[in-house]
Amino acid sequence: MEAKEAEYQAFDIAVVGAGPGGYVAAIRAAQLGMRAAIIEKQHMGGICLNWGCIPTKSLLKSAEVYQSILKAGEYGLDVSAGDVDISRVVQRSRDIASRLSGGIDYLMDKNRIRVIRGAARLSGPGELEVCEAGVVTHRVTAPHIILATGASPRVIPGMEPDGEVIWTARDAMTPARLPESLLVIGSGAIGIEFASFYRSFGTKVTVIEQLDRILPQEDRDISRAALGYFSKRGIDFFTGGTVESLKVENSAASVTWKTASGEYRGTFERVILAVGVTANTAGLGLEEQGVRLERGQVVVNEWCETSVSGLYAIGDMTAPPWLAHKASHEAVLCVEKIAGQPDLEPLDPLGIPACTYSAPQIASVGMTEQQAQAESIKYRVGRFDLQASGKAQVIGQTEGFVKTLFDEETGELLGAHMIGPDVTELIQGYVIARKLESTEEELSQTVFAHPTMSEAMHESVLDAFDQAIHS
């Protein structure tokens, strides 16, 4: 039923969803002189800011500090770790998310972007209707509409989250107490980050991965090393595993799973499902408008335009990788294309860095060695272990290495893969190098400060061409 007072407004551009893709698109549109509106039914900043990227990193930082206190004796310091107050750990993460969400509201006001609260639906070419509590409150028209509604955690039939024993990522971010035992199903970045967080505070953690290795999107050497480091921390892994049954009884989960080596059973206080995401496309009216979907995701061209002229989609509702920084980059690219900006370049998927904020951290960009082999590229590999890094020795974190791949003929940097302390910060050096089309010669001749962790990057480059100094 439509309310009589439904408001009608026309804009140059309308954005649906205020996550890291949506709000960036609205701001860039405003900067380019467009009259912009953004429609959001929940929180400014979307899942990433409120229930994903930001709060999880706060939790992981608390875990890192706790582990540093436990190891204080190695640095000649006599410190008592004390007790973990998980409620304060969680509250800190929620406070940070709240502050940043409020910051998005400020940016909307600053850029004179109209914020419309409610759920949007395409009602015709260049038209949206916005509903609250089932009532149409606004009708919006715009020649350009950008969809940025993100994605939700994928659910396995028969293992539906109940918020008590079976958790989604959101549940895992706000525990009332630390469970004694935890099963994580899935070993991508999200699963590994939660496994690392809970293990840091003493929870017994088991991880089941359906594929033959953990972190399957990473280079195989990184996956292998990560398995060793995490296992050393006391996390149990079962790769090539399939969950056969999961039953919730007496506030715990009884689980049976199989691997190539046999069948296993276990009882866990909590279970986290970390098996990917599903695009948030339901209720948007996509099918009625003729928008093409593949495997539940919106199909777009290199400028983020859908099969319907004037309708665009960015971020997690499109093809992977599903990363906040990809969504933000697509937002700017899409809006600048709409505005007719010159000399634009489509987004190169291989130029998107991937980061896992576990302990140790993992980061990568470009091709894996396996991808280079599959494409029959002649390449050279360089590697530098952090055991030989002076700075790694100083900070007491020597587990890890840097691996680089170069085209043997041209010297092009094909890919970089890192595991160790703060590599999620270091990876940007390689991202910039790839964007500037730097060769091994230029990187080899670049001066790296000493002593720093970044020296490991230099040594890895040198090693690829048999010039390494410290290994």
Q: Are strands 151-153 and 277-279 parallel, antiparallel or unpaired?
A: antiparallel
**Is residue 292 within 8 Å of residue 300, measured between CB atoms?**
no
Count of C-beta atoms within a 10 Å radius of residue 282: 10
Q: Given this model, what pLDDT does residue 4 score?
A: 54
Mean pLDDT of 347-372: 97
Count of C-beta atoms within a 10 Å radius of residue 310: 14
Instruction: Provide the b/e sequence for 440-455 (b: ≥16 CB within 10 Å).
Output: beebeeeebeeeebbb
Given the structure tokens 């594929």, which residue do they identify? 211
Instruction: Provide the b/e sequence for 135-162 (b: ≥16 CB within 10 Å).
Output: ebbbbbbbebbbbbbbbbbeeeeebebe
CA distance readout (Å), 462 to 23, 378, 424, 449, 467 = 42, 18, 21, 15, 5
Indicate if the pLDDT at residue 1 is higher than 90: no
Q: Which sequence spans correspond to the domains of the chain? A: 2-152+278-338, 166-275, 360-464
- Beta-carbon contacts of 344 under 8 Å, excluding residues fewer than 6 positions away, are 303, 333, 336, 337
Of 158-162, 257-261, 375-379, which gets the smallest average pLDDT?
158-162
Q: CATH for 2-152+278-338?
A: 3.50.50.60
Given the structure tokens 């199903």, which residue do they identify? 185
Q: Given this model, what pLDDT does residue 260 score?
A: 96
The model's pLDDT over 15-69, given as tens digits with 9 standing for 90+, comes to 999 999 999 999 999 999 999 999 999 889 988 889 889 999 999 999 999 999 9
Q: Given this model, what pLDDT does residue 269 score?
A: 98
Give 381's pLDDT tier (boundaries 50, 70, 90): very high
Closest to 75 in 3D by CA, of 304, 381, 450, 394: 394
> Is 450 in the active site?
yes
| Tally of CA atoms within 13 A in the half-sphere of 284 that contains its CB | 30
Indicate if the pLDDT at residue 224 is higher than 50: yes
Indicate if the pLDDT at residue 391 is higher than 50: yes
Instruction: Provide the b/e sequence for 63-96 (b: ≥16 CB within 10 Å).
Output: bbebbbeeeeeeeeeeeeeeebebeebbeebeeb
**Is residue 440 within 8 Å of residue 433, measured between CB atoms?**
no
> Counting beta carbons within 10 angstroms of the beta carbon of residue 465, is it exposed (0 to 12), middle (13 to 18) or buried (19 or more)?
middle
Predicted TM-score (pTM) of this structure: 0.94
Share of the chain above pLDDT 90, in %: 93
Give 7's pLDDT tier (boundaries 50, 70, 90): confident
**Is residue 46 within 8 Å of residue 53, measured between CB atoms?**
no
The model's pLDDT over 255-288, given as tens digits with 9 standing for 90+, comes to 999 999 999 999 999 999 999 999 999 999 999 9
Q: Given this model, what pLDDT does residue 82 score?
A: 77
Question: Could you write out the three-class secondary structure of 412-447?
Answer: EEEEEEEEECCHHHHHHHHHHHHHCCCEHHHHHCCC
Average pLDDT score over the chain: 95
**Is residue 401 within 8 Å of residue 458, measured between CB atoms?**
no
Instruction: Provide the b/e sequence for 229-260 (b: ≥16 CB within 10 Å).
Output: bbeebebebbbebebeebeeeeebbebebeee
Q: Does domain 166-275 have CATH number 3.30.750.24?
A: no
The CATH architecture one would assign to domain 360-464 is 2-Layer Sandwich (3.30)
Sequence-ordered alpha helix ranges (H) in 265-323:
286-289
Mean pLDDT of 409-421: 97
CA–CA separation, 20 vs 331, rounded Å? 9
**Is residue 51 within 8 Å of residue 171, measured between CB atoms?**
no
Mean pLDDT of 356-370: 98
DSSP state of 453: T
CA–CA separation, 239 vs 210, rounded Å? 6
Given the structure tokens 């599959």, which residue do they identify? 374
Closest to 125 in 3D by CA, of 292, 308, 368, 300: 308
Closest to 384 in 3D by CA, of 324, 332, 443: 443
The one catalytic residue in 138, 144, 450, 458 is 450
Given the structure tokens 């093409």, which residue do they identify? 292
Say if 2-152+278-338 and 360-464 have the same CATH topology.
no
Instruction: Provide the b/e sequence for 171-189 (b: ≥16 CB within 10 Å).
Output: bbbbbeebbebbbbbbbbb
